[in-house]
Amino acid sequence: MSTPRHVSRGWLGCAAERQVNIAVGLRGFGVVGSMGWQDYQGATTIGLVCKGGVVLASEKRVTWGNMLTSRGGMKVFKLNDRIGLAFAGLMSDMQALTREVAAYASLYELDNNRPIGVKAMGKLVANMLFQRRMFPLFMETLVGGIDEEGPMLLSMDPVGSLIPDPFITAGTGAPIAMGVLEAEYKEGMSMEAGAELALKAIKAAVARDIASGDGVDMLLITKDGTEERSISLRK
């Protein structure tokens, strides 16, 4: 399971992965040889904190083990004008969580007469994942956005560990993409530079990871709103 930079999984991370892989069998997926839950559906998903906002991006390919099931999967979701979610994992799980989180975000805004903040959204998602820890959702989650505290990016594993970082990769292509980000990410880079770097990192992963490819969906989130982009990688 990929982890954000500067974070050591240690004993707790290993224990969490063991529990998640046990739950794979309980949910009927099974584990074939060395194949864990991460191998059922691959992805390359990226988040970057930039000057004045956050970039979330992921490729479009959907796989099931060694089978390519779709070339147009959406793994990046807009929650509101200032917050987005990005995932690597099972499509059904990410869609279910997005629907539930969107409902909670709307209720929060109705109750408090203001949109939910990025940190509060991260804690909400982390709590929802932890509540399901015995039968977890098989995905890695990125929450990114901007509020009165500025741009913020948070990552979560399947059981809800909440970790902030200026740039994060997730999915089967994460190790390749992380190499590009480590070499070229600069604190305070512009949104356009961040979008170009995210695209470059995903292209590098697509070149080597067979579970990633076909196109890129991207959210550029600033105080002025959210811009959605879709880029084809098919020749």
DSSP class of residue 208 equals H
Give me the DSSP letters along 103-153: HHHHHHHHHHSSPPPHHHHHHHHHHHHHHTTTS---EEEEEEEEETTEEEE
List the catalytic residue out of 44, 98, 169, 222: 44
Strand partners, 62: 70
- Whether the CB-CB separation of 163 and 154 falls below 8 Å is answered with yes
Question: Does 226 participate in catalysis according to the annotation?
Answer: no
Report the alpha-carbon distance of residue 156 to residue 169 in Å, rounded: 11
Phi, psi of 226, deg, nearest 5: -120, 130
- 3-class secondary structure, 218: strand
Residues noted as catalytic: 44
